[in-house]
């Protein structure tokens, strides 16, 4: 089942398919300690496998995380969007931002668009964000998105927290679907 990757736009961002040139900043993220809450640090091969898995979700599940691009500069900012990785308890909205793009509201803007996409276009009735213990910035972002802490969860030996998103905050009132860019 190969599904074309949707493209979404927000005021400052384009949420699009991954491109090969996104890999170098993605690899740099995974080579650094900044990736400790995402299974890193990883060597180049492991980072490639993670990058390919992110991209492959679109073919396997019909949805996946979007590459986030800043409209003003065209820079690759991170990966945000709906995912349901093997071993996860249920569908998730995930996020990771590249160095230099944190603290600017990009993750929140992209996650809000992804939540609208998941609830309105994909028809999800529920979504979580799974945040590893110690990742205070991601916990704060989940709460800013209106998610509530539900319970602790152990993910492959790493303690984490499940935050439950409220679909009512993101459903379009007219029942329409999120439009492509």
DSSP string spanning 48-86? HHHHHHHHHHHHHHS--PEEEEETTT--EEEEEEEE--T
| Cis-peptide into 162, omega within 30 deg | no
Q: What pTM, to 2 d.p., does this model score?
A: 0.91
Asked if 34 and 42 count as a contact pair (C-beta separation under 8 A), the reply is: no
pLDDT at 76: 97
Which pLDDT tens digits describe the chain residue by residue (181 residues)? 456 778 999 999 999 999 999 999 988 988 888 877 777 788 999 889 989 988 888 889 999 999 999 999 999 999 999 999 888 899 999 999 999 999 999 999 999 999 999 999 999 999 999 999 999 999 999 999 999 999 999 987 889 999 999 999 998 765 545 554 4
List Cβ neighbours of 77 (8 Å cut-off, separation of 6 or more).
Answer: 13, 68, 69, 70, 97, 98, 101, 106, 110
CATH code at 8-169: 3.40.630.30
CB atoms within 10 A of CB 181: 10
């Amino acid at each position: 089942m190969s599904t074309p990757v949707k493209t979404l736009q927000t005021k400052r961002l384009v949420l699009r398919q991954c491109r090969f040139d996104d890999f170098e900043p993605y690899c740099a993220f995974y080579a650094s300690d900044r990736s400790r809450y995402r299974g890193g640090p990883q060597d180049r091969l492991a980072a490639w496998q993670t990058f390919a898995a992110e991209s492959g979700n679109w073919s396997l599940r019909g949805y996946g995380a979007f590459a986030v691009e800043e409209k003003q500069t065209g820079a690759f900012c991170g990966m945000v969007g709906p995912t349901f990785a093997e071993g996860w308890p249920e569908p998730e909205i995930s996020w990771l931002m590249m160095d230099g793009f944190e603290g600017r509201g990009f993750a929140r803007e992209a996650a809000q668009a992804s939540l609208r996409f998941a609830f309105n276009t994909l028809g999800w009735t529920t979504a979580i964000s799974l945040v590893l213990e110690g990742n205070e910035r991601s916990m704060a972002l989940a709460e800013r998105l209106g998610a509530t802490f539900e319970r602790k969860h152990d993910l492959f030996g790493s303690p984490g927290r499940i935050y439950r998103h409220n679909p009512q905050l993101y459903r379009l009132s007219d029942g329409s679907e999120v439009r492509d860019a």
